[in-house]
């Protein structure tokens, strides 16, 4: 049973009057172009969809609108190695409850190395930074270990946490551990928005799942997502699934080879 709680954010919207052009990236992405007002779950909101649908772009835009560094890190970090973020954040409006947000963090797998470097730099300048990360540089930990160090030692219950494909660092067993830590943080009042491909992570009960597909963003039960159905079907009978998949691949290779002979 879900517990009613006061979130930090109740919704995200695209302020269309601030969009410079719907013909330019990222506003030309179908799901972004159709974005209106997206209500957020008080605890956890998942964004799912195929590659290229705009999940990570939307998450980055929310981070920028919150005042969080687009490369990742905490709301207090202000560094840049190479500005590559889109203009979406300038057109994102946030619906807030007025609850004071003491903390915020944007975790993106591809730039965690840069964040770890900035943490080490700040620690050298003022000392004491590593205490919030388990007392050890994130560079001295594996990808998965550094991810868990953030959850165990740095994240608290007083803010909004944006996670971009956290499963990239985690084994299936660690994904289950992640769900347990996620639950503890939700109980402490944290709010999460997570872009993911993981069929395991989206089963977390105190959540909503939005599917970004074609020109729509739709609220769906996790069991109706392709992520979950494909995993469920494959694991139910992997031998059969592989036979169908590999037979189809062999047929396509044969057709391509015949096409080459005709062309030559």
In the sheet that 9-14 helps form, which strands lie side by side, from edge to edge? Answer: 37-39, 9-14, 92-96
| 65-69, 136-140, 191-195, range with greatest mean pLDDT | 191-195
Q: pLDDT per residue over 129-153, tens digit each?
A: 676 666 777 777 777 788 888 788 7
pLDDT tier for residue 3 given thresholds of 50, 70 and 90: very low
- What pLDDT is stored for residue 251 in this prediction? 64
Which comes out higher in pLDDT, residue 5 or 209? 209
Q: pLDDT per residue over 84-141, tens digit each?
A: 567 898 999 999 999 999 888 898 876 666 777 777 777 777 766 676 666 777 777 7
- What pLDDT is stored for residue 153 in this prediction? 78
User: Average of pLDDT values for 189-218?
Assistant: 94
- Of the listed ranges 111-125, 166-180, 185-199, 246-260, the least confidently predicted one is 246-260
Q: Are strands 73-74 and 103-108 parallel, antiparallel or unpaired?
A: antiparallel
Q: Are strands 159-164 and 73-74 parallel, antiparallel or unpaired?
A: unpaired
């Amino acid at each position: 049973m879900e517990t009613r709680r006061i979130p930090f954010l109740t919704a995200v919207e695209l302020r269309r009057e601030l969009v410079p052009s719907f013909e330019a990236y990222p506003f030309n992405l179908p799901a972004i172009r159709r974005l209106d007002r997206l209500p957020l779950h008080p605890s956890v909101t998942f964004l799912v969809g195929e590659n290229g649908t705009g999940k990570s772009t939307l998450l980055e835009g929310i981070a920028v609108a919150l005042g969080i560094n687009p490369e990742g890190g905490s709301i207090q970090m202000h560094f840049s190695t190479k500005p590559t973020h889109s203009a979406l954040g300038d057109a994102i409006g946030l619906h807030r409850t007025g609850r004071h947000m003491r903390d915020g963090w944007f975790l993106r797998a591809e730039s965690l190395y840069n964040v770890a470097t900035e943490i080490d730099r700040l620690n050298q300048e003022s000392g004491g930074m590593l205490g919030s990360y388990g007392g050890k540089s994130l560079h001295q930990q594996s990808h998965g270990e550094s991810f868990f160090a953030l959850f165990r030692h740095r994240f608290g219950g007083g803010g909004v946490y944006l996670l971009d494909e956290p499963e990239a660092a985690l084994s299936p067993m660690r994904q289950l551990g992640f769900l347990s830590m996620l639950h503890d943080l939700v109980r402490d009042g944290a709010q999460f928005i997570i872009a993911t491909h993981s069929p395991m992570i989206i089963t977390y009960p105190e959540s909503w799942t939005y599917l970004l597909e074609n020109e729509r963003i739709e609220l769906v039960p996790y069991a109706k997502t392709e992520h979950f159905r494909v995993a469920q079907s494959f694991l139910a009978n992997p031998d059969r699934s592989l036979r169908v998949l590999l037979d189809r691949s062999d047929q396509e290779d044969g057709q391509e080879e015949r096409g080459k002979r005709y062309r030559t």
